[in-house]
Every structure is written in C-alpha cells, then in structure tokens.
Amino acid sequence: MNIDNIRKQIDRIDQQILNLLNERMELVKEIGQLKRTSNAAIYRPERERAILERLTKSSSGRLSQQAIEAIYLEIFAVSRNIELPEKVAYLGPEGSFTHQAAEARFGALSDYIPLRSIQSVFESVVTKRARFGIIPIENNQEGIVSESIKLMSENEVHIVAEVPMPIHLAFASLEDRISQIRKIYSKDIAFRQCSRFLDDYFSDQVELIPVESTSTAARLASKEKGSAAVCANIAAKMYDLPVLFENIEDSGDNYTRFLIISHDFKNDRSGEDKTTVLAQISAEPGSLATFLQEFHQANINLTKIESYPAKKGKTFHYQFLLEFDGHIDDSHVKPIMEKHADIIKWLGSYPKLC
C-alpha cells in the first residue's frame, strides 16, 4: 500500500476518534453538572487512575503504558476543563519544572497562574483564588523542601495528588553546531547537575552564565546568536528554542516529587493509597518509639519519616512528617488517626504513585 492510501485510512480513523471524543465529552459535561449540584470536586485522581489501570490491562496493541497514560492524561485534563475550568497556581516562572509537573497533570489548556514563591502558591489556594496549587516537596538529590512542609503545617490545605517527575535537562540553542556556541545560560544548580556533559563538550573558552531560572536561560538564548541554554524541555518549547541534546544531566535518577494541594478536598479510596500527616510528639524519652510502635501494631506500613524543626513557646517538640500506605478511611488506619487527633494533622490521602 502507498503512503496516500495509508494516510486516507489514518484520516478516517482520526475522524472516528474525534467523534468518540466528542461523545465522551457530552457525558463528562453531564457529570460536571451533577457535581456542581452536589458541590463535589471536579478532579478525581482515584477515578482517573482506575481508568488508566483498566485500559493498560486490556490493551493489546502497540501502545505502551506510558503512551496510554500520556494520551489519557491529556484527555482527562480537557474533560475537567469542560466540566469547569479551574485555576491552577504553580511555583513559576513559566517553563519551570513545576510548570512541567502542572502540565503533566492538568494538560496544556488549564488556566495557569505562575507565582513567585511557594508561599504565594499556598496563599492563592487558601484564599481560593486558585482551586489547585502545585509545589515541590522533595528531590532525591537535594532532599526535602522544608519550606513546603512548614507551609503545610501552617495552612489549612490538603494534598490531592502526588506527581513524581524525572528531572531531565535539555541543551537548547539557535545554533545547529556546538562549535558556534560561546555562552551558555542556566541556573547554577543546573550547571552542577550536568557538569560532566559541559566538560566533555565545551572548552574553557565557553562562558557559563548563571541566571535566576532555567526558563530565563531559555528566553535569553532564544534571542542571542552564539548562545545556548540548559533548561527544561518545556522552556525550550515555550521560546521556540531547538533542543540539540536531551537528558544531559550526570545522574540518570534525578527526580522531584511535586504535590497538588487544594483548600477543601478529600479523595475517595483508590485501593492503593498513601497518606501524609504531620505529627507533633513530646520530647519525653521514648515517646517517638512508642508512637511508631502503634503504627506497626496496627499493621500500617510507614514509608517516610522526616523530622523538621519547630518550636512551640519555650518547650521544644519534635515535629515529624510521616507517610504511610493506606487511606484515612481504611479500617486499620482510622482508629490510630482518631486516637491521636490532638497531635496529628492529616494532610491528605491520595493514590500512591511513588
């Protein structure tokens, strides 16, 4: 068969896909109306996850699990916008990795608000200027983002979902030959993370210029011949800057975990959930051990425990961020949460992705 014939078939299939998508969106719109009458949340990560699992299991064609997810996450994002366009605040600037995480979950069409600090993201969620906020919580190379945890303890917000994202750096430039590049812009930490690539490909004559963000780097490089940027793919795309090399970072397993937060939110159980809480434990000897022992006895699998500094009046208390498998409504989780309601702040139960 020749290309023209094959393309005719593709055109016919695209038309069918589009008709089906329109049919799907009519149903989505109906669900949106029902949710509005009961004031229910539009975003249901546990339902989306169930759909993805079912489709991946039943698929017998060429599409990998990642491909199915990429296509469907975009469909879900469009669906939610049809139900109700919702504002999503994220730690900016545009083209940052947090922006990339936001787009991975809310698609290209959502109403995004890039903000200058993690604190402003919390503020926009608490004051309901935004329905969702996206913040980084930890990076496997740099550790926990303590500002995010502090703000979780001070504000009434809940975790809706987690977004684990591999952090890949791209090398982008208007030049098509690297011998023409004299200057490279990026953020200092990004230079550090791909020092091996830079050493291997560039001599000392090439100037490395640190700027405030990797997306600023992409913007500068998109305007200047003879320059390049080390940045996120999304930033290169935003400034129409061709990517010459992908994944230039030294370590292949650099990932950041982002959290989606909202003011008033509780997910239903998905069957495989994770719960995050903050606990304030008295400084008396043995109290932490006794507390943790109770989780063990309740058959709760603790997956993370991080202490963070906090002082209450003059007495020093130990504050902990705890994560464990399970949902706050699970019968083995509920009793321990109720028993310790005075020292535990529940932050959210959401589908476990990492």
Ligand X SMILES: C=C(O[C@@H]1C=C(C(=O)O)C=C[C@H]1O)C(=O)O
# chain residues binding ligand X, by CB under 6 A: 12
Can residue 270 be called a binding residue for ligand X (CB under 6 A)? no
Stretch that binds ligand X, among 8-16, 46-54, 144-152, 264-272 (CB under 6 A): 46-54
Minimum gap (Å) between residue 342 Cβ and ligand X:
34
Minimum gap (Å) between residue 1 Cβ and ligand X:
35
CB nearer to ligand X: pick between 148 and 267: 267
Q: Out of 48, 103, 162, 249, which residue is the one contacting ligand X (CB under 6 A)?
A: 48
Can residue 31 be called a binding residue for ligand X (CB under 6 A)? yes
Q: Which residues contact 76 (CB under 8 A, 6 or more apart)?
A: 48, 51, 107
8 Å CB contact between 36 and 84: yes
Minimum gap (Å) between residue 101 Cβ and ligand X:
17
Minimum gap (Å) between residue 90 Cβ and ligand X:
18
Q: Out of 13, 17, 64, 80, which residue is the one contacting ligand X (CB under 6 A)?
A: 80
Minimum gap (Å) between residue 30 Cβ and ligand X:
9
> Phi-psi bin for 89: left (phi > 0), alpha (psi -120 to 50), beta?
beta
Can residue 260 be called a binding residue for ligand X (CB under 6 A)? no
Can residue 43 be called a binding residue for ligand X (CB under 6 A)? yes
Q: Out of 28, 169, 218, 322, which residue is the one contacting ligand X (CB under 6 A)?
A: 28
Closest-by-Cβ residue to ligand X is: 79
What is the SS3 string spanning the chain? Answer: CCHHHHHHHHHHHHHHHHHHHHHHHHHHHHHHHHHHHHCCCCCCHHHHHHHHHHHHHHCCCCCCHHHHHHHHHHHHHHHHHHHCCCEEEEECCCCCHHHHHHHHHHCCCCEEEEECCHHHHHHHHHCCCCCEEEEEEEECCCEECHHHHHHHHHCCCEEEEEEEEECCCEEEECCCCHHHCCEEEECHHHHHHCHHHHHHHCCCCCEEEECCCHHHHHHHHCCCCCEEEEECHHHHHHCCCCEEECCCCCCCCCEEEEEEEECCCCCCCCCCEEEEEEEEECCCCCHHHHHHHHHHHCCCCEEEEEEECCEECCEECEEEEEEEECCCCCCCCHHHHHHCCCCEEEEEEEECCC
* Residue linked to tokens 């464990």: 324
CB nearer to ligand X: pick between 80 and 327: 80
Can residue 79 be called a binding residue for ligand X (CB under 6 A)? yes
Can residue 131 be called a binding residue for ligand X (CB under 6 A)? no
CB nearer to ligand X: pick between 85 and 242: 85
Stretch that binds ligand X, among 78-86, 96-104, 113-121, 159-167 (CB under 6 A): 78-86
Question: Letter for the amino acid at 34?
Answer: L
Stretch that binds ligand X, among 72-80, 128-136, 171-179, 197-205 (CB under 6 A): 72-80
Stretch that binds ligand X, among 41-49, 109-117, 150-158, 233-241 (CB under 6 A): 41-49
Minimum gap (Å) between residue 45 Cβ and ligand X:
7
Can residue 324 be called a binding residue for ligand X (CB under 6 A)? no
Q: How far apart are CA 260 and CA 254, in angstroms?
A: 20
Can residue 47 be called a binding residue for ligand X (CB under 6 A)? yes
Minimum gap (Å) between residue 325 Cβ and ligand X:
23
Q: Out of 49, 76, 118, 261, which residue is the one contacting ligand X (CB under 6 A)?
A: 76
* Residue linked to tokens 């208007």: 174
Residues in touch with ligand X (CB under 6 A):
28, 31, 42-44, 47-48, 51, 76, 79-80, 83
